[in-house]
Amino acid sequence: MDKNSRDKLPTDQFWFAYKTKDGLLWISTWGSDNGIYNLYKINPYENKLPYHNMKEWVFAFAEDSAHTLWLGTSEGLIHKDSTGKEQQFLIDKNSPSLTSRSNDTSVNKNIIICLAKDKENKFWAGTPHGLYHFDPITQKFTRYHHQAGNAGSLICDTVLSVNQNAPGKLWVGTLKGLDLMDINAGTFKHFQNDPKDSGSISNNVIEFIIKDRNNKLWIGTNNGLDKLDGQSGHFKRYLYTKAAVICMMQDSDENLWAGTNTGLYKYAEKK
């Protein structure tokens, strides 16, 4: 926070940023001010920094086909229409709310950690209690979860990242490995770290998944960055043992940027 700035920021702690198709930048905060979280809407062509007071902690963003914003929050899914009106969708209407960071997340069933829109304008939501598919038309959530004894079920109910890079397939990052979901069958193929296999995924904590412009899949893990070889099913490791990769993006020059716990890394693949 700049003490000399005219526009004071309530907090210096920020969590996630997302740019919509109209060029606006949305940023959620990590810390709260008396239980109120702030959602910033930034127009790069203006000097003002307007923000919206939120009762919910915003973890994830997505944009639908009408270019309106959806938020994955500590209190379910929130839709902001073109007029700014908000509509909330809860996974479990009887679940107690998450009022502070000290609360037990195992109690709150409405936390949405990650969010992604599919080709049908529906949404995949990762939560601490499984994977959900949300249909905005019916306003219903369909749950997929780990089932003991069922090898084709979700490998772990704590879902940290989702990415659909091919029709009928969904990549799911969890606390216990990477899953490839066959959406039509509702089954999951598992990828886990094998200490004896350098071609296995670096770590089982999957923080982020991204597909680049050449349709290559990159996986941010708690122990480095991996690229999947679609032919062999093996992973090539980058930043191994050097960093936990929290988030990634690709710029207009096809450079890959990775935000980690040890700094920001840029990777330019040789052509």
pLDDT at site 79? 95
- Residues 192, 187: Cα–Cα separation, whole Å: 16
- Residues 91, 259: Cα–Cα separation, whole Å: 30
pLDDT at site 100? 46
- Residues 22, 50: Cα–Cα separation, whole Å: 17
- Residues 95, 169: Cα–Cα separation, whole Å: 31
pLDDT at site 4? 47
pLDDT at site 45? 65
In whole angstroms, how large is the CA radius of gyration of the chain? 19
pLDDT at site 46? 63
CA dihedral 79→84→85→87, nearest 10 degrees, is 10
Please tell me whether residue 220 adopts helix, strand or coil conformation.
Answer: strand
pLDDT digits (tens, 9 = 90+) for 120-166: 999 999 999 999 999 999 999 999 999 999 999 999 999 999 998 78
Parts of the chain with a pLDDT under 70: 1-16, 18, 26, 28-42, 44-54, 98-106, 270-271
- The one-character DSSP state at 259 is E
- The one-character DSSP state at 230 is T
